[in-house]
Chains A and B, each alone.
Chain A
């Protein structure tokens, strides 16, 4: 009996040590290869890290499903929205001619773009689904300039890791990693279903990442900052979402 329990003790001890060592080296490797999300702290850090790390290993280059024109939801759905400030309404009255998108941070040539300048770049469209974390969804054709085109124009420095994006509504800001920023379907969208992007759907300029949930697709984009660390932004959790209790990575 004592022999058995000694053996048990040794086996359990060795297994625990191997497990702890394995976890430790996995954590180091995950950090080195950018597989740890900014909201990895706290009790839900394990699940978030497993999700983000496995998504990055499996889906970095995969394309969101695209649909046929007959599958476009009509009429397009616009979610409820907080009332817009007067400053926004003034820009809207001027048909957003004075809307600016500024880009700074780890870039060679910080710049500010008008909508007309963004529209002069080659435009791309995709018919994709936008899914809300609540459970509803719709399909629309989104038109815009791929984010990587804008980033190429300003010259992103090699040690950049994230693109932080800010809304006209200062309560909303978010960030994405370079895999999503370089993804061909990630747009600064200014058009929808053949026309201008309606204000109710985030017009004049919305960040569109079809592989992540609706709340990651921030409306009314005015400012991008390229960075190698998210610690300086807000509470350092990567976006306004974790500060409100929602996960930073929204690809699930």
Chain B
């Protein structure tokens, strides 16, 4: 599928005269179908995981380090929020409703879907060259100077030039690589390390983290990092141009009439 799209794109790029006769096909594709589909499945799953994760969290908003932790032990830290369990000394005079049942069902179902989707996305690198072309920084950008320039541009809130509608800038590439190869693997690992059955077969996955409660605490921190990425990602979407970026991720093309610069 993605191949066909890119074939269409190169066809269009090499034959600009076809613009008038086949406008929709002539505008080159910004995001392949595979990237678009996996992007939106991941978005839905991420939001489901975030909401259900928060629901599960409020039944015990205390975090510990090591193997065990409960209301009798000293927490590493606790969140200043009410709890959905009367047992937890939250400092609030009320108990929130228990939503753990469906939250857990949905959390694990979304985790399965996002992991399988992520696997498909990463496997597609071998066939589409997406990693090399779009994610790894291009040769001239692999320098500290390029990194400093792009950071400075971001800090000055400089609007991206028009050609950036067609490729990721350096900071964007580094952020995506970090999310794909660091945060996602970490959140899956720390999640599995909390499963009593999974760690019975693979005990090292929890032992190297320092224990089951450490895994839970790390899972929380990695989730917060993913949430920060999500918020900045959405903020940048508005900053760079909501309509064109959204259109590109839905239809594949930033604009019906835009030509590749």
Min CB gap B54→A, angstroms: 13
Question: A64 and B196: CB pair below 8 A?
Answer: yes
Question: A252 and B59: CB pair below 8 A?
Answer: no
In the complex with contacts A134-B85, A135-B57, A247-B105, A62-B72 CB distance below 8 A: no
> Bound complex: CA of A55 vs CA of B100, how far in Å?
22
Question: A131 and B212: CB pair below 8 A?
Answer: yes
B residues less than 8 Å from A4 (CB atoms): 4, 8
B residues less than 8 Å from A252 (CB atoms): 108, 194-198
Q: Which of A51, A64, A75, A247 has the most CB of B within 10 A?
A: A51
Within 8 A of B (CB), among A61-86: 62-65, 67, 71, 73, 75, 77, 79-80
> Bound complex: CA of A162 vs CA of B177, how far in Å?
46
Chain A interface helix/strand/loop/mixed? loop
What is the 8 Å Cβ interface bit string for chain B, positions 42-58, against chain A (1 contact, 0 not)?
00000000000000110
What is the 8 Å Cβ interface bit string for chain B, positions 73-93, against chain A (1 contact, 0 not)?
100000000000111000000
B residues less than 8 Å from A51 (CB atoms): 108, 112
> Bound complex: CA of A71 vs CA of B211, how far in Å?
11
Assess whether A59 is interfacial by the CB under 8 Å rule: yes
- Using CB atoms, name the residue of chain B closest to A63: B200
Q: Which of A11, A137, A212, A213 contacts B67 (CB 8 A)?
A: A137
Question: A213 and B196: CB pair below 8 A?
Answer: yes
A residues less than 8 Å from B60 (CB atoms): 132, 134-136
Min CB gap A16→B, angstroms: 12
What is the 8 Å Cβ interface bit string for chain B, positions 1-20, against chain A (1 contact, 0 not)?
10010001000000000000
Assess whether A1 is interfacial by the CB under 8 Å rule: yes
Question: A73 and B201: CB pair below 8 A?
Answer: no
> Bound complex: CA of A247 vs CA of B203, how far in Å?
24
Assess whether A121 is interfacial by the CB under 8 Å rule: no
A residues less than 8 Å from B239 (CB atoms): none
Assess whether B143 is interfacial by the CB under 8 Å rule: no
Assess whether A246 is interfacial by the CB under 8 Å rule: yes
Question: A8 and B4: CB pair below 8 A?
Answer: yes
B residues less than 8 Å from A233 (CB atoms): none
A residues less than 8 Å from B85 (CB atoms): 134
B residues less than 8 Å from A47 (CB atoms): 105-106, 108-113
Question: B100 and A134: CB pair below 8 A?
Answer: yes
Question: B67 and A139: CB pair below 8 A?
Answer: yes
Question: A55 and B198: CB pair below 8 A?
Answer: yes
In the complex with contacts A77-B70, A131-B212, A246-B104, A46-B112 CB distance below 8 A: yes
Residues of B at the A interface (CB closer than 8 Å) are 1, 4, 8, 22, 25, 56-57, 59-60, 62, 67-73, 85-87, 100-102, 104-106, 108-113, 194-201, 203, 206-207, 212-213, 216
Given contacts A247-B105, A251-B197, 19 further A-B contacts (CB under 8 A): A1-B25, A8-B4, A44-B102, A46-B109, A47-B109, A47-B111, A59-B201, A62-B197, A73-B70, A80-B86, A129-B68, A129-B212, A133-B59, A134-B100, A137-B67, A137-B213, A138-B70, A246-B101, A251-B195
Residues of A at the B interface (CB closer than 8 Å) are 1, 4, 7-8, 11-12, 44, 46-48, 50-51, 55, 58-59, 62-65, 67, 71, 73, 75, 77, 79-80, 129, 131-139, 210-213, 244-247, 251-252
